[in-house]
Structure 1
Amino acid sequence: MFAFCADPKTLEGAAWFACYLTSATHLAMYWSVLTVMLLLALAAPSALMFGFGGALMARSHIPPLAWVGKGYISMVRGVPDIVFFLFVPIAVDQGLEYLMHVTRCADWTEPVRRGADFVVCPQAKIPQSTAPAYVHDAYAFALALLAFALVFGAFAANTLKGAMEAVPRAQVETAEAYGMNRAQAFRRIILPQMWVYALPGLTNLWMILVKATPLLFLLGIQDIVYWARELGGSKTQVYAYPHPDWRVWYFLALLVFYLGLTWASERVFARVQNRLSVGQATAAGEALRKAGAA
């Protein structure tokens, strides 16, 4: 990074730390922070989308749709998260490669399943071995994002389903009495009011999602926890920047990072909760009315 970093063995004090903290491995760690933030930015709306769809299907009056929705919620919530985090990327990856194998290698005579191995023709590999490194990284990130969205979408579906049912039934019946059909009553009555009931559960789900980001390492992505362990471990003289075991300092930095992220999240969700509670017949809405009248 700096011109004076050419020979780390000649450095000491502030210059040594300046070069150490701007080395290539530390830059990779800083990029991993952006990876975590990008995952959160994409996984939250994706999980909400899966959750909304699952909640609508679970409440459907069409039995097959209701079975699918309730099955999705029950299956994901009843199985350890780590199982899905490991299963989904492998299943999706092998499923896509098998489809490509059948399409592109029709003359392939050898079996795809060979004991514990899954072997397809070279043309069916996703991505291709000749693809740039960033393509492989983007593909792994997309599979990880899908796993996070599916797992947390099931929890979001259960939260949203409860929020929809928390809206007073009398309001829906009144809307239907005025001539609204079921879809109109849902769009105009349930949908605008359900969020105030769903937000506490969604807030808690967001906090759990933040804490689950270190699971990226299980999916082959080098996240900030991986780099903290790798960089903090003791380094001998064979490394450019030898140092004793500094893992406590690296993990202390992670502690500050995650606490800062959750603190900011709580402030944002508190403002959203106050905004949604205005005019609502809830404890929060009543508190706001009393505060305004005082």
Structure 2
Amino acid sequence: MFSSCADPSSLNGLNWLLCYLTTGKQIDFYWSFLTVLTLLAVTAPVALAFGFGGAMMSRSQHLPLRIIGKTYTAMVRGVPDIVFFLFFVIALDQGIEYFFHVVRCPDWTEPVRNGLEFRVCPQAKVPLNSSAQIWHSLYGFALAVVTFALVFGAFASNVLYGAMQAVPRAQLETAEAYGMNHGQVFRRVLVPQMWVYALPGLSNLWMILIKATPLLFLLGVQDIVYWARELGGAKTSVYAYPHPDWRLYYFLGLLVFYLCMTKISEVVLTRIQARLSHGQATASGEAQRKAAA
């Protein structure tokens, strides 16, 4: 990065360390923290949307929707995350390419599947082989978001379904007695009331989502764990900056990062819980009333 770092063999001490910490690979390592934070920021609301949709279908009065909602929740929750990640990403990627293959290459005569090989025409590749690297990275990141959202959306669906069931039936019947229709009761009474019951479960899911981000490596995304392993490992003479095995120090840094993320999350979630519990007929709300008295 600096002109003084052009010849690593002439460096020593702090100068060597400064140049080492500013190499292109180290910059990629620093950017990977932003990748993880972006994944969390994007996946959380998308997973919540999947969960809300699954919970609504599970409570639907229509049998087909109810079957779809309950099947989605049970199927995803019943499959180990690592297996789902490895299978779903490949299936989704091949499904997208097969769709474009049918649309863009109708005259293609060769079989798409030849044993274990999956072949589509060059025009059906997503992204195209000629596309810039940024599009390949964004496509891989989008697949990761969808995969994480589907998995954690199934757990969120189960949490939100239980929270909806926990809202006292008497409150819903009172709203109906005042002339509200089913949709108004759902929007004005059920949904606002359910969050106080759902937040503990959603808080746990958020913590699990934070801990699951190293699975990005399985989806082809170069995350912080990938770079910590690569940069911390002992280098050979082919590298410009050989060093002993420093993986312990890199992973200690990741430990601090994840602990800070967890602590910040706990503080924020506790405040949200207190805000939602204010005035509610729950143990937390009763504790607030006693403290105010």
Question: What's the counterpart of residue 129 of structure 1?
Answer: 129
Deviations 1:189-217 (A, max 9, x none): 11111101000000000000000000010
- Pairing 1:86-97 to 2, within 5 Å after superposition: 86-97=86-97
> Equivalents in 2 of 1:181, 1:43: separation in Å?
33
Helix, strand or coil at the partner of 1:196? helix
Q: How far apart are 1:238 and its partner, in Å?
A: 3.1
Unaligned runs of 5+ residues in structure 2 are none
> Equivalents in 2 of 1:236, 1:130: separation in Å?
33
Question: What's the counterpart of residue 71 of structure 1?
Answer: 71
Paired amino acid for 1:246: W
Question: What's the counterpart of residue 282 of structure 1?
Answer: 282
Q: How far apart are 1:104 and its partner, in Å?
A: 1.2
Helix, strand or coil at the partner of 1:216? helix
Q: How far apart are 1:51 and its partner, in Å?
A: 0.2
Question: What's the counterpart of residue 23 of structure 2?
Answer: 23
> Equivalents in 2 of 1:4, 1:282: separation in Å?
64
> Equivalents in 2 of 1:180, 1:238: separation in Å?
73
Question: What's the counterpart of residue 7 of structure 1?
Answer: 7
Question: What's the counterpart of residue 186 of structure 1?
Answer: 186
What RMSD over aligned residues (CA atoms) do the two structures have, in Å? Answer: 0.9
Question: What's the counterpart of residue 45 of structure 1?
Answer: 45
1:142 and 2:122 matched: no
Question: What's the counterpart of residue 175 of structure 2?
Answer: 175
Question: What's the counterpart of residue 272 of structure 1?
Answer: 272
Unaligned runs of 5+ residues in structure 1 are none
> Equivalents in 1 of 2:99, 2:155: separation in Å?
31
Paired amino acid for 2:205: L
Q: Report sequence identity in percent.
A: 68
TM-score scaled by length of structure 1: 0.98
Q: How far apart are 1:236 and its partner, in Å?
A: 3.0
Question: What's the counterpart of residue 195 of structure 1?
Answer: 195
Paired amino acid for 1:221: V
Question: What's the counterpart of residue 109 of structure 1?
Answer: 109
> Equivalents in 1 of 2:233, 2:105: separation in Å?
47
> Equivalents in 1 of 2:66, 2:239: separation in Å?
59
Q: How far apart are 1:89 and its partner, in Å?
A: 1.7
> Equivalents in 2 of 1:87, 1:215: separation in Å?
13
Higher mean C-alpha deviation, range 81-90 or range 212-221: 81-90
Helix, strand or coil at the partner of 1:239? coil
Question: What's the counterpart of residue 218 of structure 1?
Answer: 218
> Equivalents in 1 of 2:101, 2:2: separation in Å?
49
